[in-house]
Amino acid sequence: MASNGIVREGSLEAPTRHPLDWKNPDFWDEAALDAELERVFNVCHGCRRCVSLCGAFPTLFDLVDEGPTGEVDGVPKARYGEVVDQCYLCDMCYMSKCPYVPPHEWNIDFPHLMLRAKAVERKRTGPRLRDTVLSSTDKTGLFAGIPVVTQTINAVNRTQPMRALMEKTLGVDAKAWLPSFATRKFRSAAGDAVATEVKDGQRTPGKVVLFSTCFINYNEPGIGLDLVAILDHNEIPWRLAKKEACCGMPKLEQGDLDGVEALKNINMPQLVALAREGYAILTGVPSCTLMFKQELPHMFPDDPDVLAVRDAMWEPFEYLVARHKDGLLKTDFKDKLGKIAYHVPCHGRVQAIGRKTEEFLKKIAGLEVDTTERCSGHAGTFGVKKEFHAMAMKIGRPVFRKMAEFEPDFISSDCPLGGHHLAQGIEQNHQKTPELAHPISLVRRAYGI
């Protein structure tokens, strides 16, 4: 490809990403979308560097190789959707494999093109019931927090007849792990911060607001309570936003961009006020952090509130490592944890902040960390769907194997959903059941608090 007289096969420049132009009517034009899909598929067919990442690329290459011409022009456009369906927006092709991402003149952004295709298809055919249920986390979360109700629902959902019914009616795979509802929500159980004095560091704000996330609030509040305990132990004042809705990532995965905007309009007034008061905003789920750090800014690049919240967002270990460098974090770890097989989730890698969790865990004496930086295959709602669960388990096999071979005392991932997927895969493939614990929970144990 020629650029200013220079022929470039790929690019060594740092990738840059263009905004998602979803308010432009051209974004929704089906003929224009098909033309762009054909253009990008042609580049991917000629490169094939991403063949091992997920199911999207092998699906594309099989369609090409089995077609009458052996080229993309032999693939019926009606079958492009088979490629789109296999993409779960992990962004790894964009971040770690593709040599043609912007600023390269070929301007390949495969994940955003797949997102556009999902959005156009959803607008054309309407939402599926299953996708609506899986992405409406605040509505399903209404079951949480009522002990008798949650215990009944959790018990019923674990029975084979109910799982078979869910598979038949909703397309939720009967073998996939599903979360239980908590008998008490995190936002109800969190209480108040212990510390009141704000100690700003050179790198870190001295006060924190927690965006609890749907999963921690409704399903595993213990992760949030462990984070609160760590903040209290380190005398860091914290608070919750007065109101909170889903970050929007589950709806983004389904191409429901209007749904993402509706949730943004609930969260932004709460979070931007706190961001402008100088709070660091932490979430306990990488996908939620990524939503505020990157996806919403891509969708609303000119919204000053969105950009202010972006600049205030931190991954928990990103904040704790910076706090340690400021000399404002305690290292009075008491308990030795042994061997930890740690997994870096894709939505943590995409943030390009480095291995902050690994960096922090290695500060704890008596702890041996073995890190795996490869997709687990779960990908939010993708891994529980009947037509994709087997693929999700296949993608995760190299990770299951590496983590099992370490013979760990604990397995751990910043993504709690991915962590359960890993535990299921290790048990099914290697007949081992090391204890699963979120990294935040491991740090609380190490502090002995």
Residue pointed to by tokens 């202010």 = 308
Q: Is residue 168 part of a domain?
A: no
User: φ, ψ for residue 292 (rounded to 5)?
Assistant: -80, -30
With the C-alpha atoms ordered 40, 41, 43, 49, is the resulting torsion angle positive or negative? positive
User: φ, ψ for residue 422 (rounded to 5)?
Assistant: -65, -45
Task: Tell me which H or E stretch contains 447.
Answer: helix 439-447
Query: 103: cis peptide before it, omega within 30°?
Result: yes
How far lies 356's CA from each of 76, 293, 376, 407, in Å?
45, 16, 19, 23
Q: Is residue 309 part of a domain?
A: yes
Q: Is residue 215 part of a domain?
A: yes
Q: CATH code at 400?
A: 3.40.50.11810
Same domain, 380 and 431: yes
* Residue 143 pLDDT class (50, 70, 90 cuts): low
Same domain, 190 and 318: yes
Least confident among 113-127, 141-155, 185-199: 141-155
User: φ, ψ for residue 414 (rounded to 5)?
Assistant: -65, -30
* Residue 168 pLDDT class (50, 70, 90 cuts): confident
Task: Single out the residue in 291, 323, 355 at which a domain terminates.
Answer: 323
Residue 145, pLDDT above cutoff 90: no
Residue 2, pLDDT above cutoff 50: no
Same domain, 388 and 363: yes
Same domain, 268 and 196: yes
Residue 393, pLDDT above cutoff 70: yes
Residue 315, pLDDT above cutoff 50: yes
400-418 tens-digit pLDDT:
999 999 999 999 999 999 9
Q: Is residue 362 part of a domain?
A: yes
Residue 130, pLDDT above cutoff 80: no
347-358 tens-digit pLDDT:
988 898 999 999
4-33 tens-digit pLDDT:
545 566 667 778 899 999 999 999 999 999
Same domain, 199 and 278: yes
Same domain, 198 and 319: yes
**Per-residue pLDDT, 11:** 66
Would the pTM of this model clear 0.95, i.e. be above it? Answer: no
Angle at which helices 110-125 and 30-47 cross, to 10°: 150
Same domain, 108 and 195: no
Same domain, 345 and 223: no
Tell me which residue range forms the domain holding 389.
331-447
Based on the structure, what is the number of domains in the chain? 3
Same domain, 302 and 345: no
Q: Is residue 158 part of a domain?
A: no
d(C-alpha 224, C-alpha 221), whole Å: 5
* Residue 57 pLDDT class (50, 70, 90 cuts): very high
Q: Is residue 212 part of a domain?
A: yes
Average pLDDT over residues 136-154: 68
Task: Single out the residue in 293, 323, 353 at which a domain terminates.
Answer: 323
Same domain, 190 and 92: no
Q: Is residue 17 part of a domain?
A: no
Same domain, 347 and 242: no
Q: Is residue 261 part of a domain?
A: yes
**Per-residue pLDDT, 3:** 45
Same domain, 412 and 432: yes
Task: Single out the residue in 323, 352, 380 at which a domain terminates.
Answer: 323
